[in-house]
Structure 1
Amino acid sequence: MSSQTSPSSIRAPIRIGSSLSTACRNKAIAGVRAAAFWAAVILPLAYVPAAYGAMGFETWSALALIAVHMACVVVGHEHGTSSNDIPSTHA
């Protein structure tokens, strides 16, 4: 009898850890995309006070608002387009 372990039993925890970290990363990315998408939907409501200089908005802060909005649009544009999220219409 040999006390050697098989290579598959040594690699199993690595595979489990790798798949777990991939799943966590995918969930985190989906959460960031969802938050960015909804922020991109809501942020235009802040344009009206920014246009009138209300609530302490200045020129630089209005430009920052537009930059943040554009960043949210870019990051959130793929929210909900994953093939796992779209229900199949085939029976």
Structure 2
Amino acid sequence: MSSQTSSSSIRAPIQIGSSLSTACRNKAIAGVRAAAFWAAIVLPLAYVPAAYGAMGFDGAWSALALIAVHAACIALGHEHDTPSTHA
């Protein structure tokens, strides 16, 4: 009896590292998308204080920055998908 191991059942360390880095990258992207999605939902609440110049919003530049950040959050978070809990 020879104890031969199939080469297809043994994964090289480079394959393990590659799949691990891909999994970590996918989790990081999902986290950024989730944060951007929820920020895009909450950011419109800051428009009212910005319109009245309250809470440190001084002038048009800060209002434009708020709108730009909101647009960026919408663009980044538009593909956010909640994890399914189906069994």
- TM-score, normalised via structure 2 length: 0.80
How many corresponding residue pairs?
80
Relative to total residues, which structure has the larger helix share, 1 or 2? 1
Deviation at 1:56, TM superposition (A): 2.1
CA–CA separation in structure 1 for the residues paired with 2:81 and 2:8? 37
Establish whether residue 39 from structure 1 lines up as the match of residue 39 from structure 2: yes
Establish whether residue 68 from structure 1 lines up as the match of residue 69 from structure 2: yes
CA–CA separation in structure 2 for the residues paired with 1:56 and 1:64? 13
Between 1:30-39 and 1:10-19, the stretch displaced more is: 10-19
Gaps of 5+ in 2: 1-6
Could you say if the C-alpha distance between residues 73 and 15 of structure 1 is closer, same or farther in structure 2, counting changes exceeding 3 Å?
same
Identity %: 81
Deviation at 1:55, TM superposition (A): 1.4
Residue 56 of structure 1 aligns to a residue whose secondary structure is coil
Equivalent AA in structure 2 for residue 71 of structure 1: A
CA–CA separation in structure 2 for the residues paired with 1:60 and 1:16? 48
Gaps of 5+ in 1: 1-6
CA–CA separation in structure 1 for the residues paired with 2:29 and 2:13? 24
Q: CA RMSD in A?
A: 2.2
Deviation at 1:10, TM superposition (A): 9.0
